[in-house]
Amino acid sequence: MPIRVSLDRILIDRRMSLTELADRVGVTIANLSILKTGKARAVRFSTLAALCRELDCQPGDLLVYEPGPAEELDEGED
Amino acid sequence: MRALGPGSVSSFLKIILDVVYVALVAGVIGAALLALAALLFAFNPSLLANVKISDGAQFVERAPLVVGGLLAAGFYMVSVLLIIGALRRIFTTLTAGDPFHPDNVNRLRLVGLMLAVLELGRYAVWGISAWLPWVRDVRPSFSLTAWFSVLVVFVLAEVFREGARLRREAELTI
């Protein structure tokens, strides 16, 4: 997936733990981990809005496009 | 009335499938034991002296047919057993409220495959029956309904595959 989620860096900048963010945003730690490790397929606008609100950032600060080799978006991709 | 989840129609159907499954297992074991006994008598007819069977001589004469019939019955029951077993596991996921479990795709494919095997087995039995001299009145027929069912099950398997893919997508949507 050429979209990278730079949640790690922002959390360090804000000195906030994943658990605290999960509590504030209302998303489970497991789901935030999926997002942080780049395994997520999609992010809901509501989740993105909550993340931006709690981290005081813009969507562009969280999501970075990094072009790479073309990937097949089939069901086999995890 | 709910279709999925605990206490729903699917859980009721699961209980019925459990009962049928146990009955079929008993049937398969019974058929296997009978086939074994028939084989034993076929190879050693002197054993019949100790067993009281009306018209024992005819039984020995037709022992290969009896064994063949029992093996065909066993094959039929094993095929149905595989179908019922797959359906039981599918209904377990339905009862748990998780119809698009990834394993259900292969289970449905197995059901479709076994339905096709059963239909082909029916043709084989007809072929053999027509060849045997003492079997009369063999009327082979081609069942479109059976093959239609096979295709429907395979299409349903693909529908479940798509459902499983969407479920995976939903799981990875944060």
Question: Per-residue pLDDT tens for B40-99?
Answer: 777 776 666 666 656 656 666 666 777 777 788 888 888 999 999 999 999 999 998 888
Question: Average pLDDT over chain A, rounded to whole?
Answer: 85
A12 CA to chain B: closest CA distance, Å? Answer: 21
Q: Which structure tokens are listed for B82?
A: 């595989």
Residue A43: is its pLDDT beyond 60? yes
Question: Per-residue pLDDT tens for B132-165?
Answer: 776 666 677 788 999 999 999 999 999 999 999 9
Residue A21 inside a domain? The answer is: yes
For residue B57, CA distances in Å to A4, A51, A55, B41, B69 come to 82, 86, 91, 11, 18
Whether residue A38 contacts residue B172, with contact meaning beta carbons closer than 8 Å, is answered with no
The residue range of the domain holding A9 is 3-65
Q: In whole angstroms, give the CA distance from residue B45 to residue B161.
A: 55
Number of folded domains that form chain A: 1
**Which residue, A78, A1, A8, is CA-closest to B102?**
A78
Q: How many residues does chain B have?
A: 174
| pTM score of the predicted model | 0.71
Per-residue pLDDT, averaged over B93-109, amounts to 92
Residue A70 inside a domain? The answer is: no
Whether residue B93 contacts residue B6, with contact meaning beta carbons closer than 8 Å, is answered with no
**Which residue, B21, B41, B29, B34, is CA-closest to B70?**
B34
Pairs across A and B, CB distance < 8 A: 25
A30 CA to chain B: closest CA distance, Å? Answer: 10
CB-CB: which of B165, B169, B172 is closest to A39? B172
**Which residue, B164, B100, B166, B170, is CA-closest to A34?**
B170
**Which residue, A7, A1, A32, A4, is CA-closest to A19?**
A32
Question: Per-residue pLDDT tens for A8-18?
Answer: 899 999 899 99
| CATH code at position A15 | 1.10.260.40
Residue A73 inside a domain? The answer is: no
